Chain A
């Protein structure tokens, strides 16, 4: 089955700790994305990657970091510098950046206390 996997589904961390969210895809897509979803809001773009070893900041990149060492993997680190990290995080991929369908993973709900 082709698709995107995110792990874990639920994640709990103490304030001040960095945490890394996993995202893997086997769709052979070049482009990958991280979004943040808060209640009552649309999805907001954190980072995107058009190709391996390349990534760019999205609209709300402060306090987050990413890497793209392999085509199928795009992990997101939520650092202690992120002021309000509790949210639902969604990873997505598409064949290329631009006007193409984005396929989403099941999401990770991060709670920081």
Chain B
């Protein structure tokens, strides 16, 4: 089945710096790659997603890149702010034996942005 690995597990940056989080996936049939932000004690919120027919997507300070050949995708946050501090999860679609297409999540990256 699908396996998603995420690095680094923790990332500390200074305010204004850029942050990059990387994920790799194993199933070449994966076609949807969302990124979620989770603040302490809350549920994850989608911040950006990309589909397999697109190589890059940008939304203000956030961008995601996808390399299907290498099976990896990355989240880029520019001009980081203290409110960007949270845990970020990547995910990729994977197929169960029933044919159901589920999301397989990475183990998360704790981002700390220091003022």
Pairwise interchain contact A99-B44, C-beta atoms closer than 8 A: no
Which of chain B's residues 1-37 have a Cβ closer than 8 Å to chain A? 4, 6, 9, 31-32, 34, 36
How far apart are the CA atoms of A99 and B49 in the complex, in Å?
10
Query: How many A-B residue pairs lie within 8 Å, measured between CB atoms?
Result: 62
With an 8 Å Cβ cutoff, the count of chain A residues facing the other chain is 26
| With A42-B107, A97-B100 as contacts: A90 and B51 at CB distance below 8 Å | no
How far apart are the CA atoms of A24 and B41 in the complex, in Å?
19
- Least distance between B23 CB and chain A CB atoms (Å): 11
- Least distance between A26 CB and chain B CB atoms (Å): 16
- Least distance between B54 CB and chain A CB atoms (Å): 13
| With A101-B49, A102-B103 as contacts: A43 and B89 at CB distance below 8 Å | yes
Residues on B with beta carbons closer than 8 Å to the beta carbon of A6: 43
- Least distance between A6 CB and chain B CB atoms (Å): 8
Residues on B with beta carbons closer than 8 Å to the beta carbon of A109: 41
With an 8 Å Cβ cutoff, the count of chain B residues facing the other chain is 29
Residues on A with beta carbons closer than 8 Å to the beta carbon of B69: none
Choose among A56, A98, A100 the residue that contacts B98 (Cβ–Cβ < 8 A): A56
Residues on A with beta carbons closer than 8 Å to the beta carbon of B36: 104
Pairwise interchain contact B102-A58, C-beta atoms closer than 8 A: yes
Interface, chain B (partner A; CB < 8 A): 4, 6, 9, 31-32, 34, 36, 41-46, 49, 51, 89, 91, 93, 96, 98, 100-108
Choose among B4, B43, B100, B105 the residue that contacts A56 (Cβ–Cβ < 8 A): B100
Give the interface SS of chain B, mostly helix, strand, loop or mixed: strand
Contacts A50-B100, A58-B96, A98-B101 aside, 15 further interface pairs with beta carbons under 8 A come to: A42-B6, A42-B89, A42-B106, A44-B105, A45-B102, A92-B43, A97-B100, A99-B31, A99-B93, A99-B101, A104-B43, A104-B45, A105-B43, A106-B43, A109-B41
Residues on A with beta carbons closer than 8 Å to the beta carbon of B104: 42
| With A40-B107, A42-B4, A42-B108 as contacts: A106 and B102 at CB distance below 8 Å | no
